[in-house]
């Protein structure tokens, strides 16, 4: 009995009692411990993420053309965007609003992220990669309002950008997944541009931190439940009250009807797993079409740490296939409804 309780104590700090995907076990074992509050040194956090992503950033990516431009944000601020188009693509393409992750605080890279590039190539789409304002310099609602402004800009400039305003998807990972969910709520409530698909990848949706997965994932080598408290404090401000708006934490939205079809990706060793699954279930209950995928034994954003594993490749291919299918089959709102004799 005593030995068992000691093993459990060890497990609390090292997650040894949690299932780790066999393909990821060696990478997981070698991860360094993270600081208790990574947001205490924002400059180091931003630099560390750039260093993690550097090996995944192509020096010369012939698959896409990249145009840098900017738009005016809701506060008269300038929002830098990168517009990606598949090399050699002609004609009008579907559009993707890509919102990067990084706890609402970091995640910007010198070029478009690998995920934005992959989305462009896989979906044959014009991708708008948004450099929204970041906390703590700019707390909620600056970042999400920038993302929504970029959606409106995309739809208004569709002709110039070579994209179809009736086929725009919104996607992002982690904080970018939360921002994507929020932009969909905003577009519905404000009667804004039509969104045909929301890709919520390991989304950060709920500041209440009350799920079982938040309590379960305590390992200090990976994003854990305690760390999420610091994420929300940084985004919303340490003096935040109990009534966080739904555009900040979409899990707080009481009505999920009328939202775009969704794809929700979660990971078994991610403290965010349960809020993603809960949101997917509530979307389903609201008659929103939802596809879900969970990767057991994988941690938050594991693909960046183990990009060459089969499980990482399969996970990436899965969400990209869902994005492509959504943009390929999206019904044209402006087109007449197909008749039975369409064969």
Pick left, alpha or beta for residue 107 (phi over 0 → left; psi -120 to 50 → alpha; otherwise beta): left
Active site residues: 174, 270, 300
CA distances from 54 to 113, 139, 234 (A): 10, 27, 25
pLDDT in the model for residue 333: 56
Query: How far is the C-alpha of 313 from the C-alpha of 102, rounded, in Å?
Result: 21
CA distances from 312 to 49, 105, 150, 189, 306 (A): 19, 25, 30, 36, 7
Q: What is the mean pLDDT of the chain?
A: 93
DSSP-based three-state secondary structure for 194: coil
In the structure, what pLDDT confidence band is assigned to residue 234 with cuts at 50, 70 and 90? Answer: very high
Whether 164 shows a pLDDT value over 50: the answer reads: yes
Query: How far is the C-alpha of 69 from the C-alpha of 273, rounded, in Å?
Result: 35
Whether 7 shows a pLDDT value over 70: the answer reads: no
Task: Name the residue among 322, 84, 309, 105 with its Cα closest to residue 201.
Answer: 322
In the structure, what pLDDT confidence band is assigned to residue 9 with cuts at 50, 70 and 90? Answer: very low
Span between the terminal Cα atoms of the chain, in Å:
69
| 180-216 per-position pLDDT tens digit | 999 999 999 999 999 999 999 999 999 999 999 999 9
Whether 172 shows a pLDDT value over 70: the answer reads: yes
Neighbours of 222 (CB within 10 A): 23
Residue 126 burial by CB count (10 A; 0-12/13-18/19+): exposed, middle or buried?
A: buried
Contact indicator for 166, 186 with CB cutoff of 8 Å: no
Q: Residue range 161-180: average pLDDT?
A: 98
Residues 6+ apart with CB under 8 A from 310: 23
pLDDT in the model for residue 5: 42
Query: How far is the C-alpha of 246 from the C-alpha of 263, rounded, in Å?
Result: 19
| 246-272 per-position pLDDT tens digit | 999 999 999 999 999 999 999 999 999
| 26-76 per-position pLDDT tens digit | 999 999 999 999 999 999 999 999 999 999 998 889 999 999 999 999 999
Contact indicator for 163, 116 with CB cutoff of 8 Å: no
pLDDT in the model for residue 59: 83
Percent residues over pLDDT 90 in the chain? 88
Whether 340 shows a pLDDT value over 60: the answer reads: no
Whether 289 shows a pLDDT value over 80: the answer reads: yes
Whether 16 shows a pLDDT value over 80: the answer reads: no
Q: Residue range 282-291: average pLDDT?
A: 98
Q: Check residue 94 and report its DSSP letter.
A: E
Query: How far is the C-alpha of 127 from the C-alpha of 86, rounded, in Å?
Result: 9
Cα angle value 40/42/43 (rounded, 5°): 130
Whether 14 shows a pLDDT value over 70: the answer reads: no
Phi and psi, residue 57, nearest 5°: -90, 115
Percent residues over pLDDT 70 in the chain? 91
Query: Tokens 């509530």 belong to which residue?
Result: 282
Query: How far is the C-alpha of 319 from the C-alpha of 294, rounded, in Å?
Result: 11
């Amino acid at each position: 009995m005593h030995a068992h309780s000691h093993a459990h104590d060890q497990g609390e700090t090292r997650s040894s009692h949690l299932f780790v995907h066999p393909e990821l076990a060696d990478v997981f074992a070698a991860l360094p411990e993270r600081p208790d509050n990574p947001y205490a040194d924002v400059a180091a956090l931003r630099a560390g993420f750039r260093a993690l992503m550097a090996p995944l950033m192509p020096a010369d990516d012939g698959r896409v053309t990249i145009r840098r431009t900017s738009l005016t944000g809701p506060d008269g601020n300038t929002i830098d965007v990168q517009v990606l188009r598949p090399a050699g693509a002609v004609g009008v393409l579907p559009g993707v609003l890509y919102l990067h992750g990084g706890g609402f605080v970091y995640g910007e890279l010198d070029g478009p992220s690998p995920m934005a590039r992959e989305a462009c190539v896989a979906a044959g789409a014009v991708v708008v990669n948004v450099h929204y304002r970041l906390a703590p310099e700019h707390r909620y609602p600056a970042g999400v309002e920038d993302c929504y402004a970029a959606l409106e800009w995309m739809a208004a400039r569709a002709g110039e950008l070579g994209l179809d305003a009736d086929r725009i998807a919104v996607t992002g990972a982690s904080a970018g997944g939360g921002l994507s969910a929020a932009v969909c709520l905003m577009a519905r409530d404000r009667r804004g541009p039509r969104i045909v698909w929301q890709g919520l990848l390991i989304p950060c949706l709920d500041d209440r931190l009350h799920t079982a997965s938040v309590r379960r994932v305590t390992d200090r080598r990976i994003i854990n439940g305690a760390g999420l408290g610091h994420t929300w404090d940084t985004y919303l401000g340490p003096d935040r009250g109990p009534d966080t708006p739904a555009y900040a934490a979409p899990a707080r939205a009481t009505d999920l009807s009328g939202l775009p079809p969704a794809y929700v990706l979660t990971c078994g060793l991610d403290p965010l797993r349960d809020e993603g699954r809960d949101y997917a279930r509530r979307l389903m209950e609201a008659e929103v079409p939802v596809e879900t995928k969970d990767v057991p034994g994988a941690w938050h954003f594991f693909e960046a740490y183990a990009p060459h594993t089969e499980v990482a490749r399969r996970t990436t291919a899965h969400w990209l296939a869902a994005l492509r299918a959504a943009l390929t089959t999206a019904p044209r709102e402006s087109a007449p409804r197909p008749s039975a004799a369409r064969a």
